[in-house]
């Protein structure tokens, strides 16, 4: 069963990213947000955008953005956070739906990329906090985002 709010949430995230991501890079973010069921590599996203991986990485660097792999991981996690905050599905179900091998992998990713425990992702306001943190990290061009 697919998470029904996914497309609307993806659009909301893209709207927020317009303030800090150059327009030529928004298609890469869009692709990631529209394909949360697949763990996407930077190579796959670059190919979907019609460019090579190194060209995509260069464009992110030139724009002062964190590495694309970390940004794409955060995009997928934002969809997870919204899902957990607004639905009662099990963490295992959400992990599998969003292409995490296990719920443990999702838990590790949440701590690594968001600095949030899995239980805190269900709290009211978790999505807004995670989105604001992502925007702040993009503005800084750092934020400890992983390139993995």
Which domain CATH number covers 22? 1.10.10.60
Could you tell me if residue 147 is inside a domain?
no
| End-to-end Cα, the chain, rounded Å | 28
Query: What pLDDT does residue 104 have?
Result: 95
Domain membership of residue 146 (yes or no) is no
Contact 8, 52 (CB under 8 A): no
Residue 93, judged by CB atoms within 10 A of its CB (0-12, 13-18, 19+), counts as: middle
pLDDT along the chain (148 residues), means of 10: 67 92 94 83 94 96 92 91 90 90 93 88 90 89 48
Contacts of range 26-35, beta carbons closer than 8 Å, 24 or more positions apart: 28/56, 28/68, 28/72, 29/71, 29/72, 29/75, 32/71, 32/72, 32/75, 32/76, 33/9, 33/75, 33/79, 34/7, 34/10
The reported pLDDT for the residue numbered 5 is 61
Q: Is residue 75 part of a domain?
A: yes
Q: Cα(32)–Cα(36) distance, rounded to whole angstroms?
A: 6
Place of tokens 């394909």: 35
Residue 95, in any domain of the structure: yes
Residue 66 maps to a domain: yes
Specify the pLDDT at position 147.
39
Residue count of the chain: 148
What pTM did the predictor assign?
Answer: 0.85
Please check whether residue 145 lies inside any domain of the structure: no
Domain enclosing residue 108, as ranges: 6-139
Structural domain includes residue 120: yes
How many separate domains does the chain show?
Answer: 1
């Amino acid at each position: 069963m697919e998470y029904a709010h996914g497309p609307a949430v993806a659009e909301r995230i893209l709207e927020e990213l317009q303030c800090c991501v150059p327009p030529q890079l928004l298609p890469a973010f869009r692709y990631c947000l529209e394909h949360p069921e697949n763990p996407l590599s930077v190579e796959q996203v670059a190919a979907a955008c019609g460019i090579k991986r190194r060209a995509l990485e260069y464009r992110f660097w030139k724009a002062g953005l964190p590495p694309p792999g970390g940004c794409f991981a955060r995009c997928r996690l934002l969809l997870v956070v919204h899902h957990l905050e607004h639905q009662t599905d099990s963490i295992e179900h959400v992990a599998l739906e969003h292409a995490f091998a296990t719920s443990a992998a999702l838990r590790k990713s949440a701590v690594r990329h968001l600095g949030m425990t899995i239980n805190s992702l269900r709290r009211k306001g978790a999505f807004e906090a995670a989105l604001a943190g992502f925007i702040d990290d993009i503005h800084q061009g750092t934020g400890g985002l992983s390139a993995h």
